[in-house]
Amino acid sequence: MDSIISKIDTLSLTDTITMVKDTIQTKKTLIEQIQVSSSSSNFELIGVISGAVAALAALTAIFLTYRSNKLDRESRRPYFTLSSPGFKKISNNLRLQITFENNGTHPAKKFKGEIRIFQDNLENEVKIDIDIVNDIPANSPTPYYNDSVALGNNMPKHFIFCKISYLDPILRKEYNQEFFMKWHGVKNGTTHPDFVQIDTNEKKIVEEYIKNNA
């Protein structure tokens, strides 16, 4: 049964519907061929075929229910978004802060990640590791911050790449996510506070850099 379930996992809904249609057509063809003769043995054979097809239909229904439940469980997985990432003013200092929010239904555990910050000319990279030991429940903001930030009066645009991994303890499955952002730097002592979205071409540049500097 496990091998059958595993095989069904790879089928799409269209594949399953096609399988049911083929089963029904096979039943119809066989019965039409047998009904040419009206002997009692043929009527018994029709009953056997009908029972077999009914069993296949019931098994198909079980598989469809299984797949539906599996998709429903998957939709409840942890899924993280970022809330207002950037530099926050605290007293006379700046705080680098990225807040991760679990927008799924299931909690997340074994949360790990890294933040890589580098200039738009792909130089002077800074790497920051993230390791959160506590479980992160649903709808729970989880900030990472660093208060030892020192910025100059003029700094160029930077790219920010963040990669995270975590475990869904209910599905027992690990997930990965990536975030691509940019920061417009500092101009004449004025700091742009927010990390913002990048465009498609910038993303390609960052992906190529990360690939070549893993």
180 and 144, same domain (yes or no) = yes
Count of residues in the chain: 214
Asked whether residue 84 falls in the same domain as residue 181, the answer is: yes
Check whether residue 126 and residue 208 sit in a common domain. Answer: yes
What is the span of the domain harbouring residue 62?
A: 2-75
- For residue 97, CA distances in Å to 82, 94, 172, 176 come to 10, 9, 29, 20
Quote the crossing angle between the two packed helices 13-34 and 40-75, to the nearest 10°: 180
Tokens of 90: 């605290």
Q: Is the entire prediction scored with pTM above 0.85?
A: no
Q: Tell whether 13 and 36 lie within a shared domain.
A: yes
Query: What is the share, in percent, of the chain residues with pLDDT greater than 70?
Result: 66
Tens digit of pLDDT for each residue in 95-118? 999 999 999 999 999 999 999 999
CATH number of the domain enclosing 139: 2.60.40.10
Instruction: State the average pLDDT for the chain.
Output: 81
Domain finish residue from 75, 99, 120: 75
Q: Which residues contact 83 (CB under 8 A, 6 or more apart)?
A: 99, 100, 101, 141
Per-residue pLDDT, averaged over 69-96, amounts to 83
13-70 pLDDT, tens digit each: 556 556 655 655 665 565 555 555 555 565 666 666 666 667 666 666 666 665 655 6
Q: Is there a contact between 198 and 206 (Cβ–Cβ < 8 Å)?
A: yes
Q: Coil, strand or helix: which one is 180?
A: strand
Give pLDDT, residue 27. Answer: 55
